[in-house]
A and B are shown apart, each in its own frame.
Chain A
Amino acid sequence: MAQKLDEYVEAEIQRLLTENGAVAEQGITLQRREHMLILGGEVESAQRRDEICRQITTKFPDVEIACDIGIVRAAAPSEVEEIS
C-alpha cells in the first residue's frame, strides 16, 4: 500500500531535495495528491531531474511520484529590453 502522503512526508522530501548533496535544489515544487506526489519546477540538466526522482524513490519507496520537472532552456535571446 502506498505510504500516506501527509505534511510531514512532504516537508521531509522538501528538505531532502535541498540538503542532499546529490540534489541541492531549492526550486522544486511538491503537490500532494491523494495517492501521488507531483514534482514541478525546472533544473539545469536531465541528470539532475533523474537524480531527484531516484533520491525520493530510494528514501520513500512507498511514495508514488509523477515527475513534471523540466530542463531550463538555454537558447540565445531574440529580444532586447530598453530600460527607461
Chain B
Amino acid sequence: MIRIAAVGDVHVDKDVLGRYRPALEQLPDVADVLLIAGDLTRHGTVEEAKCMAQEFGDVGVPVVTVLGNHDHQSDQELQVMDVLRDAGMTVLEGEGTVLTLNGHRLGIAGAKGFGGGFAGACASSFGEREMKSFVGTTEAIADKLGAALRGLDCDALVALTHYAPVPETLVGEPLEIYPFLGSYLLGQAIDSAPTALALHGHAHHGSERGRTPGGVPVRNVAHPVIKQAYNVYQLLSENAETRLVNA
C-alpha cells in the first residue's frame, strides 16, 4: 500500500505561513509522500519560494513537486527550484523519480504542462509564429512527460502536472478558457505509460475527478477544489486499513 497526499495551488507567501502546518503535522500518520501540483507561490519570487520551503519543508515524508504558471511570473523559476531543492524537495520538470515506500517503488514523473485545449477545440501549430510557439511549447513538455513516465521502473506510476490532461476535471470553469487550462497532449503522454494516477491543479473552479481516454484516473487537487490542506489517495492496496476512513 502506498498513500499519496496531494495538493496544488497553495500560493504561499508571508501571509500564509502557518496555515498548513497543523494539517501537515499529521501527514506522516496518514501518507507516505506529499505531491504538490504547482503554483507553489504567488509571483514566483525567491522570497516566496523561501516561504514555501518553510511551510511545506520538513513535513516527515518526501515532498515532490512541479512548478505552476505563477511560479514563472518573475522569471526566477530556476532560483525558485534551487530554494525548494535546498529544502529537501524534489522538483520535477519533464523528468521522473522513484521512491521506495513501504517496500514498493513509487514512480513519479512530473512537468508543469501548458495549454492548448482538448479534442474538438484544440489549438493547432499553424499560422503566426506566436501560435506555433504556443502549441510547440505544450508538445515539447508533453513529449518529455511521456518519455519520463515510460522510463520509470516501478510498482506504481503517478503523473504530476500543473495543467490539466483532461477536460472532465475542468467542469465548472468557463468553457472559453479550457485551452488555457490544459491540453489533450498531456493526457496522451499519460496514456502512453502504465500510469496508475494523474494529479494536476491550476483549475480553481474545476472538478475533482476525471479519467483519461485510456482510463487513467485523474484528480484535480487544486486547493480551492479539494477545500482542505491535502487529499490522500491510496495505491497498491493490500487492505483498506488506514487511520483515515475510505471515501
Contact = CB atoms under 8 A, between A and B. Distances in A.
B30 A83 contact: no
A45 to B, nearest CB: 4
Contacts, number: 95
Interface in B180-213: 196-197, 204-205
B102 interface: no
B197 A74 contact: no
Contact of B228 (A44, A77, A81): A77
A82 B148 CA distance: 25
Contacts of B240: 82
B244 A74 contact: no
A82 B43 contact: no
Given A45-B16, A83-B235, A27 B246 contact: no
B231 A77 contact: yes
Interface in A26-71: 26-27, 29, 41-42, 44-45, 47-48
- Of A44, A45, A47, A77, chain B has the most CB atoms within 10 Å of the CB of A77
A44 B19 contact: yes
Interface residues of A, number: 24
B90 to A, nearest CB: 21
Contacts of A79: 232, 244-247
Interface in B5-44: 10-13, 15-16, 19-20, 22-23, 26, 30, 42-43
B233 A76 contact: no
Contacts of B15: 44-45, 47-48
A77 B224 CA distance: 14
Contacts of A80: 3, 30, 232-234, 242, 244-247
A41 B23 contact: no
B232 A77 contact: yes
Given A74-B229, A77-B30, A80-B246, 18 more contacts: A24-B43, A27-B205, A41-B224, A42-B224, A45-B15, A47-B15, A72-B223, A72-B224, A76-B26, A77-B229, A77-B231, A78-B244, A79-B245, A80-B232, A81-B233, A82-B247, A83-B233, A83-B234
5 contacts: A48-B15, A76-B26, A77-B23, A79-B232, A82-B246
